[in-house]
Amino acid sequence: MSMQQQTTAIMPFTQTDLQSAGSVYDTAVGFQDKYRAKQIALLAKVAANGDKLPKELDDELMNWQVSAKKALKHIEEQRKPFTEKAHAFIKAFTSVENALGKELYDPIQQVRDKSAKIHAEEAAAARAKEQAELAAKQKRIDDIAQLETQLRNGYAVYLSTVKQTLLTVYTGATLDLLEDAISELTLAMDWTLSNEAWNSITLVGDTELIEEVRTKEKFDACDSHFALEVSKYAEYLLSLMPARKEELEAGVAQSEAAAELARKQEQEAADNKLAAQKKADADAAKAKQAATVTVMVAQANRQVEAPRAIESYSMIVGSIDGWRAVVDYYLTNSGTVAEDLGKVKLDQMAAFAEKQAKATGEMITHSDVSYEPKYKAVARATKKKVA
């Protein structure tokens, strides 16, 4: 079939048809003007006579109606051939539009919707897996932080105990034992942290995590710190020995310097415990943030790779009690006034709940009410031209 033949099949109007249709329309407009003028004149007579009409005027009005009906019938007969062709013309366009907008479009949309659903379900499963892994990582971080705190506190307690031992040597010295005390404090200047002492620090937790926390690197760091602290403390106590000797010779049993040192040690122990907790909390917070950022980056990458999809919900109600829950939810949340409630159907109430689920995430909690997610792929911004 040639292009001219196709156009003629679709376009039923000829030039003569268009001219004739115009003539019929002009005639119809003429009738309209004529009957409008007559109607105005008749209504003016009615107004002059009042509501009760004389027979002659009523006959005149009836004759106008009969004539108007005939004119209307004449116009309909004259325009019918053209309006029928117009309807055929509209139907031809509608057929093409339906084919393009539904018959051709829908199969493509269905393929994309199916793909979007797979992407969305995989993304949801990946998010759930990542959240579980993140929770496990954060628990592990918390457990390590607790063990770190136990180790720091245990070391601080041991160091404090050693210093207390040296302070006892100092405070327990008598004139007879003064040289022995000086000798013992001098030896303490070379003390180091023993493996036995290090391993005696109690750590309560997972065995593998304990091995990660009680490392050689930490031991070496504590050993250096221990040697320096004990050496400085012993050296300080030795510097107090001359004054202590004078106190003993003067009969002073209690040393004011020793009492002050004891107070300082108590404060130092409390400060060390607080510092250990703060350090563990800070390290844990930093590690948790890093783990969370890793998950967020993975989720953002998935959003870039996956097609955009609109998610909605289809509600399934399985019992009368379930419908009661739907009605109750609608009455509580819709804001519908009592006067309008009689116009609302159950399906409309369910549709309201479905929209709320999509908009807010809030769903009706009932054993016989369930929500089925629906996915629809939507168009993305593109620079491509229409084919």
Return d(Cα 163, Cα 235) in angstroms, integer.
Answer: 12
Average per-residue pLDDT for the chain: 82
Locate 124 and state its tokens.
Answer: 């949801």
305 pLDDT above the threshold of 80: no
Same domain, residue pair 327 and 357: yes
Return d(Cα 31, Cα 4) in angstroms, integer.
Answer: 38
Same domain, residue pair 84 and 41: yes
Same domain, residue pair 321 and 253: no
302 pLDDT above the threshold of 60: no
Same domain, residue pair 282 and 319: no
Average pLDDT of the segment spanning 272-289 = 69
Average pLDDT of the segment spanning 322-340 = 91
Looking at residue 18, its pLDDT comes to 74
Evaluate whether residue 383 is within a structural domain: no
Same domain, residue pair 132 and 81: no
User: Residue type for 114, please?
Assistant: K
**Please, what is the Cα angle at 114 between 113 and 118, to 5 degrees?**
115
Locate 175 and state its tokens.
Answer: 């004139």
Among 103, 132, 153, residue at a domain's last position: 103
CA 107 to chain centre: 32
pLDDT digits (tens, 9 = 90+) for 150-176: 888 889 889 988 988 988 888 888 888
Among 252, 279, 303, residue at a domain's last position: 303
Looking at residue 2, its pLDDT comes to 46
Same domain, residue pair 135 and 243: yes
Locate 310 and state its tokens.
Answer: 């609109």
Same domain, residue pair 136 and 271: yes
Contact yes or no for 181/241 (Cβ under 8 A): yes
Return d(Cα 201, Cα 222) in angstroms, integer.
Answer: 12
Evaluate whether residue 117 is within a structural domain: no
192 pLDDT above the threshold of 90: yes
Rg (Cα) of the chain, in Å, rounded?
A: 48
Give the residue, 262 or 347, on which the prediction is more confident: 347
Report H helices in the chain: 3-10, 15-49, 55-98, 105-171, 178-188, 195-199, 207-213, 216-249, 256-305, 320-333, 338-341, 346-360
User: Residue type for 171, please?
Assistant: T
Evaluate whether residue 294 is within a structural domain: yes
Looking at residue 1, its pLDDT comes to 44
Return d(Cα 159, Cα 230) in angstroms, integer.
Answer: 8
Confidence band (pLDDT; 50, 70, 90) for 386? Answer: very low
Among 73, 103, 133, residue at a domain's last position: 103
Residues forming a β-bridge with 314? 372
Same domain, residue pair 320 and 285: no
306 pLDDT above the threshold of 60: no
| Unique residue bearing structure tokens 């018959």 | 103
274 pLDDT above the threshold of 80: no
Please give the helix or strand (H or E) that residue 312 lies within, else none: strand 309-317
Evaluate whether residue 210 is within a structural domain: yes
Residue 256: is it exposed, middle or buried by C-beta count within 10 angstroms (0-12/13-18/19+)? exposed
Return d(Cα 168, Cα 262) in angstroms, integer.
Answer: 10
Evaluate whether residue 387 is within a structural domain: no
* Separation in Å, CA 129 to CA 62, 96, 117, 231, 375: 84, 48, 18, 53, 21
Evaluate whether residue 275 is within a structural domain: yes
pLDDT digits (tens, 9 = 90+) for 73-97: 999 999 898 888 888 888 888 888 8
Q: Please give the residue range of the domain that contains residue 195.
A: 122-303
Name the percent of the chain lying above pLDDT 90.
34
pLDDT digits (tens, 9 = 90+) for 100-144: 888 888 888 888 888 888 888 888 888 888 888 888 888 888 888
**Averaging pLDDT over each range in 129-138, 242-251, 275-284, 360-369, which range is the top one?**
360-369
Same domain, residue pair 234 and 137: yes
Number of domains in the chain: 3
Evaluate whether residue 339 is within a structural domain: yes
Locate 318 and state its tokens.
Answer: 């399985």
Same domain, residue pair 93 and 47: yes
Same domain, residue pair 75 and 131: no
Evaluate whether residue 108 is within a structural domain: no
Nearest to 218 by CA among 141, 277, 142, 149: 149
Residue 280: is it exposed, middle or buried by C-beta count within 10 angstroms (0-12/13-18/19+)? buried
Same domain, residue pair 351 and 272: no
